[in-house]
Amino acid sequence: MPQSQAQIRELLKQPKVPVDEIISELSDWQFHDLALFYTHSQTQKNVLDMPIFDRLWRAHREKISLADSPDFKLKKQIGFSDRELVLGFGLYYSAMSFKKQYQQKSLPKYEEAFLKYLKLAMQYGSIQAFRIALTKLQVEVSNEKSSVQDLVDNVGKVLINWKPVLLKHRTPGALLLASGFHFFARKLIEKQGSAAQIMAAYQSLWEQLHLAQLCLDSSDDAINNAYLCMGLGLSNAYDLPAIEIMKKAVREESETFMSVRQREQMEIIAASTFDTKLQIVRLKAPAFSLGSSNSEHTKTIKESFKNIISGPGRS
């Protein structure tokens, strides 16, 4: 007989945690129910964060599916653990469920729950949650009373704060930032911001588009996860399917505010970010022959470990 949440919480508090029993129980849960359970208390977080529960999170990631996207599978993604992927996706799913209830019943408690779990999903890096938050932000600053300074404070600065987490998603994250800066630039034009402000917004947009392009080769799984295996067309409001097409549209739109040289400068900055923070370094094991002496073999193994230890850390 399945155990209740209260019973599982008690198991998690035991001095010697019955790992197999807990995993057996939690493996049958829906991923969004597990995410809500995880956030219930710090004790649950501390225990379920232990490496011994990695197989639980992996199993949940592998079995996540969506009724309206039958081909979608949440894939292992560079920069995120299985736990982060499941929690981000589960908390986002829960947030959207509460949003739907609020739209149907207009009760404040559902709106509060929506905002609570949306923020939690963002803390675990859910790019879907960031996309909803950006849309919400755009609606809030689109009223006639918003000023240029409101745009700078509530859009420009927010996008900069989001950048470290979003760039962990590589191409999809950079494209979401690009979408935000595109909105920012257009609103600055509408609100008669200064030429320097508009130029800076377009420069940031171009930087993120170029960075998204540089990351493409290592972003297949991130693209699958971000757009539910439906492709890059979901990354922008114009259903443009390729970054080069997006860049062409931005070039034509921004030519009054951004020169060729300025675009080239932003591409240099993007390339530097890619080289120092986002490029995947694949370590090569030192070669040794089967005829090596024991001492040479030992030296080779030590060098291999040295390379691994001194290599780049996991983002």
Residue 224 belongs to some domain of the structure:
yes
Predicted pLDDT at 118 = 97
In a domain? residue 73: no
Q: Mapping DSSP to helix (H, G, I), strand (E, B) and coil, where does residue 69 land?
A: strand
CB atoms closer than 10 angstroms to residue 252: 8
Residue 294: pLDDT above 60? no
Residue 206 lies in a domain: yes
pLDDT above 50 (res 312): no
pLDDT of residue 292: 39
What is the percentage of the chain residues whose pLDDT exceeds 90?
77
In a domain, residue 70? The reply is no
Residue 310 domain flag: no
Q: Which of 3-7, 97-101, 265-269 has the lowest mean pLDDT?
A: 3-7
Domain with 168, as residue range(s), is: 131-278
Domain identity same for 1 and 120: yes
Q: What is the pLDDT, as a whole number, of residue 314?
A: 35
- Residues 158 and 113 both lie in one domain: no
pTM here is 0.86
Q: What are phi and psi of 101, to 5 degrees?
A: -65, -35
Residue-level pLDDT at 281: 61
Distance CA 66, CA 68 (A): 6
Q: How confident is the model at residue 2 (pLDDT cuts 50, 70, 90)?
A: low
Average per-residue pLDDT for the chain:
88
pLDDT of residue 233: 84
pLDDT tens, position by position, 48-105:
999 999 999 999 999 998 888 888 999 999 999 999 999 999 999 999 999 999 999 9
φ, ψ dihedrals at 18, nearest 5°: -75, 85
Question: For 108-165, what is each residue's pLDDT tens digit?
Answer: 999 999 999 999 999 999 999 999 999 999 999 987 788 999 899 989 999 999 999 9
What is the C-alpha to C-alpha distance for residues 148 and 27, in angstroms, rounded to an integer? Answer: 50
Residues 97 and 17 in one domain: yes
Q: Do 118 and 135 reside in the same domain of the chain?
A: no
Q: Is there a single domain that holds both residue 223 and residue 103?
A: no
| Residue of 88, 78, 100, 77 whose CA lies nearest to 34 | 88
- In a domain? residue 208: yes
> Coil, strand, or helix at residue 34?
helix
